[in-house]
Amino acid sequence: VRALTALLVRRNDHPDFYPKIKFLCCCPGWCKTEMGGDDAPLAEEEGANLPFYLASTMDSEVLLNNGEYWRDDKRLVKFGQYC
């Protein structure tokens, strides 16, 4: 997912054509879903908080880090950095 995000940034991060598009990837955390199972600590709604936040925020830290990966605790993880 991170490699695809980086590729999308390289191919589409052109200020003249796509000035308002950002490419971000995130991990919503371990959520209670069919895949996550009943032991997961987060509800589905809690898992949706981060993608919604990234898609709707005007936070400069998010906007200035196009192509980066975000953890479920809203922590930025730079490429090559251990999660």
Tens digit of each residue's pLDDT, the chain (83 residues) = 778 877 777 777 666 766 678 888 899 899 999 999 999 999 999 999 999 999 999 999 998 888 888 988 788 887 666 65
Distance, in Å, from the CA atom of 12 to the CA atom of 49, rounded to the nearest integer, reads: 26
Name the 3-class secondary structure at 14: coil
In this predicted structure, what is the pLDDT of residue 75?
Answer: 86
Instruction: Label each residue of 18-80 as H, E or C.
Output: CCCCCCCEECCCCECCCCCCCCCCECHHHHHHHHHHHHHCCCHHHHCCCCCEECCCCCEECCC
CB 32 within 8 A of CB 44: yes
pTM (two decimals): 0.75
